[in-house]
Structure 1
Amino acid sequence: MLTLTQIKPPNGNISVNLTLALTAEDRTRSRHRFETVEGQVVYLSLPRGTVLQDGDLLHDEDKTTLVRVSAKLEQVLTVTTANSLELLKAAYHLGNRHVPIEISAHYLRLSPDLVLQKMLEGLHFQVIYELQPFNPEQGAYKHHG
């Protein structure tokens, strides 16, 4: 089993050995056992509070194995509307409930939640279930790596 301990910033010519596909929740775990896409068992041993992002590169203690993190497809609710001001209102209502959301110029994305879905539909937003990577905002006080 490989123990992954470092985050290496992406740069130029690198050779990635393995891919670690993780859900948004998995990417918040600093100490956990996972299996790579290729079937290799790895153990994360990262500083507490580390939040991995899609495309991050990890290496083992010997710096001989390089692993790329990828955002795994997962069930999400995607919220859309015809204009950006309305989308800001949806972000306000979701933020007021302290749920993790992914924010883009054209949609909001969150984990499936029937109560929040009904609330958003009641406010006339389009809400659909999708299988997509989920990359929620980390908040103002979270630090990457």
Structure 2
Amino acid sequence: MLTVNKLLPQGQGLAPVLLKRAATVELDWDVRQRSRFDATDSQGRALGVFLPRGTVVRGGDVLVAEDGAMIRVQAAAQAVLVITPCADHGSAFDLVRAAYHLGNRHVQIELQPDHLKIEPDHVLADMLRAMHLTVKATQAAFEPEGGAYAAGGHGHGHAHDHDHGHAHAHSNPAHGEPGHVHGPGCSHDHGHHGHEHGPHDAAAPSTTPAAPRGKPVGIAIKAATTPHVHGPGCNHDHDDHGHGHKH
């Protein structure tokens, strides 16, 4: 028995010639939604499949055995109900309504542009016919929708690397993007950004040593062409400026 513990979704990364030469195995949906099962491939070899829990096998996936042998999976034909709009007075919107009602009942559905497929269920078939849909029993491969959060992320879904709703801390003006706007609540250290906050900052000579944060240099204040105006909420120590304010 060949032990299989790896799966390549849709044979990703394999050359077409390798896929063409690989043995095949036909599996219905009941087996393919399991992570552990036994099967026999087209070469008559017994397979013991042990995949991570939650793995769903789709038609077109490739199983890889411990010895490197590759087996391409084919979705076997099985009993299904094919649901289509009424040919006389139906529309594609009828399929949307049908999918909605089936989804409310947690039914696995294969979604196609012009039809739906579900596993046989006479109660559901009667409900769909009452909605003026055509329901036909047949034998066909069944690939139900995996859902937006299905494990493995392959099958009908596509991986998108969209970053929705996240604020960018800084944009790059060199790329023609708008610059960052600083405002209340901004946690940046503005002392290192070279922003001009008013005449008080501009009056300080370049040779004056930097004062401790929140403690302005008195001589720089006197040299300013436009004096700093103190008012409510000012955090300066007014006694150092000679204003004679008593607080």
Report the TM range for the smaller structure's normalisation: over 0.9
State the shift of 1:39 in Å: 2.4
Bigger relative contact order, structure 1 or 2 (CA pairs below 8 A, ≥6 apart): 1
AA aligned opposite 2:103: G
1:103: Cα distance to partner?
Answer: 0.3
Aligned to 2:67, what secondary structure does the other structure show? coil
Secondary structure of the residue aligned to 1:14 is: helix
C-alpha separation in 1, matches of 2:39 and 2:123: 32
Please report how far the alpha carbon of residue 37 of structure 1 lies from its aligned counterpart in structure 2 after TM superposition: 3.4
CA distance in 2, matches of 1:38, 1:132: 23
TM-score normalised over the length of structure 2: 0.56
Residue 66 in 1 paired to residue 48 in 2?
Answer: no
Backbone CA RMSD of aligned residues:
1.4
Q: Post-superposition shift, 1:95?
A: 0.4
**Structure with more of its chain in strand, by fraction:** 1
Provide the rounded CA distance (Å) in 2 between the counterparts of 1:72 and 1:109: 15
- Which deviates further from its counterpart, 94-103 or 17-26? 17-26
1:113, CA displacement in angstroms?
Answer: 0.1
Partner of 1:30: 35
The secondary structure found in structure 2 opposite 1:25 is helix
Q: Which residue of 1 aligns with 2:81?
A: 77
Q: Which runs of 5+ in 1 are unaligned?
A: none
C-alpha distance after superposition, 1:28-66 (max 9, x if no partner): 111111122332210111000000111101111121x11
1:61-110 alpha-carbon deviations (Å, 9 max, x no partner): 121x1100000000000000032111100100110110100001100000
Q: Distance in 2 between matches of 1:139 and 1:25?
A: 17
Q: What does residue range 1-145 of structure 1 map to in structure 2 within 5 Å?
A: 1-8=1-8, 9-10=11-12, 11-12=14-15, 13-15=17-19, 16-63=21-68, 65-81=69-85, 82-144=90-152
User: Identity over the aligned pairs, expressed in percent?
Assistant: 38
Q: Secondary structure at the match of 1:68?
A: strand
SS at structure 1 position matched to 2:120 = coil
Q: In the comparison of the two structures, how many residue pairs are matched?
A: 144
CA drift at 1:119: 0.4
d(CA) in 2 for partners of 1:38 and 1:74? 22
Larger radius of gyration: 2
Q: C-alpha deviations, 1:9-38, integer Å up to 9, x for none?
A: 333231543211111121111111112233
